[in-house]
Structure 1
Amino acid sequence: MIGKLRGRVDAIGESEAVIDVNGVGYLVGMGGQALARLQQGEDVEIHIETQVREDSFKLWGFLSERERAWFARLQLIQGVGAKAALALLDALGANELESAAALGDSSAFGQAKGVGPKLAGRLALELKDKPPPIGRAFTPGFNVAASAGIASAKSGDETAGSNAVREDAVSALLNLGYAETDARRAVAAANRAQPEAVTGDLIRLALKELSK
């Protein structure tokens, strides 16, 4: 199986890219937002989810391990295939996807192309009160959940800082004795209300949410 590719962007299509790794071109399916961040000829690191079926072998690529982990997690839910999972990541991004999951926000899931009210409700129900996917650790001591993603390509809102702030706030609430599900829900609500909040402000906003 292939878990990661590091090479050069050889070609960019409507729903896939060719990544040249030492002269071998790997055809990688990617979401529209991720493809828009690529530039032909640039060096890039792509996190890969390999899917093997009876009649196919497919590589799905992401600019952060966190996105790949969410892609895999979403497909554990009945009715969510690869295209729906990509649509959800395209519409929300990993940060808002995590917030929607923590808050059980079906309306947020419904923003994704092809995700109707029934499926959006199922996503909200099954993802609520569950911790986000951990992902793979590629280096000793590397915490994917606390580092939003590493990619040489431009990664939009998937910055290490923004997710590290959220995880620091969650950790602080856990140290205060709050349950993880409650802490994540409060931090998600606080982050949605004030996306640019620094850790201290996010903790204070989350504590207000918990006191309601």
Structure 2
Amino acid sequence: MIGKLRGRVDAIGESEAVIDVNGVGYLVGMSGQALARLQQGEEVEIHIETYVREDALKLWGFLSERERAWFARLQLIQGVGAKAALAILDALGVDELESAAALGDASAFGQAKGVGPKLAGRLALELKDKPPPMGRAFAPGFNVAASAGIASANPAENSGSANPARQDAVSALLNLGYAETDARRAAAAASRANPEAETGELIRLALKELST
């Protein structure tokens, strides 16, 4: 099984890319957002979810381990296959997906192509009050929530990475004794109310949310 590829972007298509690893070209299915961040000829590290079927082997690729972990988690929901999971990630991005899961926001899931009201409601119901997926730890000190797959000098380019202020707010709430699911839900609500808020403001908004 293949868990990760490190190589050069050889070609980029509408729904997949070819990653050249020591002369071997791996065809990797990826979301539109991920493909838009690739440049032909650049060196990349791609987190892989390998699907083996009786008549095929399919590689799905992600620019962060956090994205791959959510891709796998989404498919545990009845009615969500690989394409639907990819569409959800493409429509929401990981931060908004985590917020939608924490808040049980069916309308957010409904933004994804091919996700109707019934499936959106099921996603909201089954993901709410559950911690985010842990993912794989590739090295000592590896932080799954903060993993970005491809380093960039511009934080805006690392859309797979976690919102640092929101993660700090969650940690602060946990230290105050709140349950993880409550802390994540409150932090998500605070972040949605004020996406530009720094950690202190997020904590204040989250505490207000928890008090209601």
TM-score of the superposition, structure 1-length normalised?
Answer: 0.95
- What is aligned with 1:176? 176
Q: Match of 1:158, SS?
A: coil
- What is aligned with 1:118? 118
**1:8-65 per-position Cα deviation (integer Å, ceiling 9, x unaligned):** 0000011100000110000000011111111111111111001111111110000111
Q: Which amino acid aligns with 2:50?
A: T
Moved more, 73-82 or 48-57: 48-57
CA distance in 1, matches of 2:148, 2:15: 21
Task: Work out the percentage of aligned pairs sharing the same amino acid.
Answer: 83
Shift of 1:134: 1.0
**1:103-127 per-position Cα deviation (integer Å, ceiling 9, x unaligned):** 0000000000000000000000000
Shift of 1:158: 2.2
- Structure 1 residues 148, 211: CA separation in 2 closer, same or farther (over 3 Å shift)? farther
- What is aligned with 2:97? 97
Contact 2:94 2:160 in 1 (8 A): no
Is 1:158 aligned to 2:159, yes or no? yes
Aligned residues: 210
Is 1:43 aligned to 2:43, yes or no? yes
Contact 2:47 2:149 in 1 (8 A): no
**1:120-179 per-position Cα deviation (integer Å, ceiling 9, x unaligned):** 00000000000001111111021212x14231478745264x523222211111111111
Q: Match of 1:144, SS?
A: coil
- Structure 1 residues 127, 30: CA separation in 2 closer, same or farther (over 3 Å shift)? same
Uncovered stretches (5+) of structure 2, i.e. residues with no partner: none
Q: How does 1:23-34 map to 2 (within 5 A)?
A: 23-34=23-34
Moved more, 52-61 or 103-112: 52-61
Moved more, 90-99 or 148-157: 148-157
Contact 2:93 2:160 in 1 (8 A): no
Runs of 4+ aligned residues of structure 1 deviating over 2 Å after TM superposition are 152-160, 162-165
Q: How does 1:1-212 map to 2 (within 5 A)?
A: 1-145=1-145, 147-152=146-151, 156=157, 158=159, 160=161, 162-212=162-212
CA distance in 2, matches of 1:127, 1:199: 25
Contact 2:103 2:189 in 1 (8 A): yes
Contact 2:151 2:158 in 1 (8 A): no
Contact 2:51 2:59 in 1 (8 A): yes
CA distance in 2, matches of 1:156, 1:90: 15
CA distance in 1, matches of 2:138, 2:169: 24
Contact 1:18 1:28 in 2 (8 A): yes
Q: Match of 2:163, SS?
A: helix
Contact 1:87 1:113 in 2 (8 A): yes
Contact 1:44 1:152 in 2 (8 A): no
CA distance in 1, matches of 2:25, 2:151: 18
